[in-house]
A and B are shown apart, each in its own frame.
Chain A
Amino acid sequence: MTEETYTDALRRLEAIVAELERGGMDLETTLNRFEEGSKLLERCQAELKEAEGRLENLRLPDAEAAVKRATQD
């Protein structure tokens, strides 16, 4: 999932929350929305986790060497 879709997922989630809070839906729609919202939530949480990683503090020549090696792979 790209960053745009994280934001999209969050927007959709917000819309679902608002819809559920507003009420007046039939049972089936409620369950469908809840299911969709839960999936969106999981996706968003997974995204946040995925942003974590290492801190690489490189000097310019080392950074250039690393990128060069990567392009040769």
Chain B
Amino acid sequence: MGENEPTPVGKFVQSLRARIRSDNRNQHCLLKGEISQWKPYPSGHTYFTLRDDGGQISAVIWKGRCRIPSGIKDGQEVLVIGSVDLYPARGQVQIVVERIEPIQKIGSLEQQKQKLLLQLRQEGVLDRPRKSLPTFPKHLVIVTGKGSAALADMLQLSQSRWPGIRTTVIGVTVQGDRAVEEIVRGLAVARMLNRESVATSLSVPPCDAVIVGRGGGSPEDLWAFNLEPVARAIAAMPMPVVSAVGHESDVLVSDLVADVRASTPSHAVECCVPLVDDLLAYLLDCEDRMMQGSLRQLSDSRQQLEQLRLRLQLAPQKGVSLAVRHLERLGNDLHQRTSAVLQSHKQQLAVLASALQLSHPKRVLERGYLMGVDDDGKVISSVSELNEGQSVSLQFADGEAHANIENIKQNEE
């Protein structure tokens, strides 16, 4: 094709389209404007014009490619993320919308959120005592986006921490118009699973911990977790609830009413599901320590017993020999003391005996003296006691004789 050859318009448009689409500056543009000529078609595509005072551009929302918030109509100011494209059939430049959000909706939602928080605070819902998570759940229920990446992450993490831990996932819609209703219904199912009768009928332990959440997203995507029905449902749960919405900035109402706030769904799993190996290792450690302690204690007791046994064995012998020695010592002592006493008594007795012997009147009589005794048996020691003609008895060592006093003669002084 020469330089001056005309280009078929179709080819020109195609080439122009290629150039528009290959320019990164035309991809994922963030635009602000007002909606006009909003036209949903039966095919499912929606066409509208995005405009402001400075200009306008056609826009299209392909069927199912983008969530359309409720209440969008002409005149609504919106934020749009979209890529520029050329529609070859008409040669029309248009924005293919990837996301669309009404602008003032966020503002009014924020107001609603603050109002709800105020009300919940006044009712004491925010200050109520929180339930603490069990050491491990017997039956964990996860209410989250069905088939979502967040769910896959949670299950993978949970299984790595505790393979086979009993879990029931209730897959719900977590954004869009149906989100609030479905999250609330999911929580209602979890609450039913907490009932003993229902759990028994399903042959599972009653649900004792709930994770409700979703992966990260824009504030609008997460907005269901700021709404009253979800907040009330969480607050009314009989078992501990972990709020697990992946977000960094703003705190959600669900975070404030839940028993535990997790920063991400994975974090929620870490809060709920312990590492089973850690628990087992701890129990084994306890067992080991208990065993060691008991053994030490037993060997102490055995030593004590052994010592007691030895002491018992030795005790009688020791006692007897002590007693014998004691007795011996006592015996010796007694003997020594008594013999000394006896000796002194003997000596005394001998002295007394010889004294007695020497002083006895008989001894005197034996030497040739005689003793006069009157009729009354009284010894006569002086002639003055005598009268002439008186009868007296004369005592000899070997007998007595009776005599009458004939003559009394007193010695001269």
Contacts and interface: CB of A to CB of B under 8 A. Distances in A.
Main secondary structure of the interface of B (DSSP, over half): helix
Interface stretch (B33-41, B165-173, B255-263, B384-392): B165-173
A41 B289 contact: no
Chain A interface bracket (under 10, 10 to 19, 20 to 34, 35 or more): 35 or more
A34 B294 contact: yes
B52 interface: no
Given A17-B286, A34-B294, A67-B193, A53 B276 contact: no
Interface stretch (B60-68, B135-143, B355-363): B135-143
A52 B165 contact: yes
Contacts of B164: 52-53
Contact of B290 (A20, A45, A54): A20
A63 B168 CA distance: 9
B168 A27 contact: no
Contact of A48 (B136, B146, B172, B301): B136
A60 B294 contact: no
Contacts of A26: 301
Contacts of A7: 134-135
A54 B166 contact: yes
Interface string B184-221: 01100100110001100110110010000000000000
Nearest to A21: B293
A48 B136 CA distance: 8
Interface string B291-324: 0111011101100010000000000000000000
Contact of B289 (A17, A50, A73): A17
A26 to B, nearest CB: 7
Chain B interface bracket (under 10, 10 to 19, 20 to 34, 35 or more): 35 or more
A50 B204 CA distance: 10
A57 B155 CA distance: 10
Nearest to B206: A2
B31 interface: no
Given A3-B134, A21-B293, A41-B286, A67 B189 contact: yes
A59 B168 contact: no
Interface string B17-57: 00000000000000000000000000000000000000000
A50 B205 contact: yes
Given A7-B135, A53-B139, A71 B293 contact: no
B290 A41 contact: yes
Nearest to A37: B290
A73 B197 CA distance: 9
Given A7-B135, A53-B204, A60 B186 contact: yes
A66 B193 CA distance: 10
7 contacts: A45-B280, A50-B205, A55-B155, A56-B167, A58-B171, A64-B189, A67-B198
Q: Which 3 residue pairs of A and B lie closest in terms of their CB atoms, listed nearest first?
A: A20-B293, A53-B166, A3-B134
Interface of A: 3, 6-7, 10, 13-14, 16-17, 19-21, 23, 25-27, 30-31, 33-34, 37-38, 41, 44-45, 48, 50-60, 63-64, 66-67, 69-71, 73
Given A3-B208, A58-B170, A67-B202, 11 more contacts: A3-B135, A14-B286, A33-B294, A41-B290, A48-B136, A48-B276, A53-B139, A53-B165, A60-B146, A60-B170, A71-B201
